[in-house]
Amino acid sequence: MPNPNRGSCGFQSSEFEQEYDRPSKSQLKREMTALQKLGEELVAQPKERVLRAPLPDDVRDAILECQRISNHEGRRRQLQFVGKKMRTLDENEIAALQSTLDSWRGASKAEANALHLLERRREKLLAADSALTELLAEHPGADAQRLRTLIRNARREQTESKPPKAYREIFQILKQLQEGDAAGHGETNEESNDDDDA
């Protein structure tokens, strides 16, 4: 004869279930790791950016101290301390900091793209004389003789496997010309704004 109590434990399983209002240990661990990485990203930034970042003074001081430490073990411990300090930030501070870092990443990408454009322009100058003619047409104030000499020297450096002194100097001149353009556009915009006011 089958046992009528078989399979029955005599209590409802929901009686022993606990309801948690707080996040799980795994969730807390993920949040701590994300804040640690955020702190590490700040440590990797230049000092000037850290000084401008929306941070409480104690967190900023911990980050700047970490940047000064060169000893591997000391730096590792200081990074842990930075992570601990990052966990003291509230949600609004973290959001502001995250948006600041995102804007820096965008600026860094734009700077990298601008440098790649200059490098391509330099390669064109070394590959064809017509590229110099185009450059001089865009920048009539550029020193044509100096550029011709540098291009000739850079080509010689490449064929003779010499240190790329002229090659680097061409890049610096291109960078200066680009910065001059940017400054000129800024002045033009200001002048047009002044005209609007008049």
Q: pTM to 2 decimals?
A: 0.45
- Domain 27-89: assigned CATH number: 1.10.60
User: Higher-confidence residue: 42 or 8?
Assistant: 42
Q: Rounded to an integer, what distance in angstroms lies between the CA atom of residue 164 and that of residue 148?
A: 16
Q: Where are the domains of the chain?
A: 27-89, 109-185
pLDDT digits (tens, 9 = 90+) for 56-68: 899 889 989 999 9
Q: What is the pLDDT of residues 129-179, one digit of tens each?
A: 899 889 999 888 889 899 999 999 999 998 998 888 999 999 899 888 888
Q: Which residues make Cβ contacts (< 8 Å) with residue 94, sequence separation at least 6?
A: 35, 38
Q: What is the mean pLDDT of the chain?
A: 80
Two tokens at 42?
């700040």
What are the pLDDT digits (tens) for 39-90?
A: 888 888 888 888 888 888 998 899 899 999 889 899 899 989 988 888 888 8
CATH class of 109-185: mainly alpha
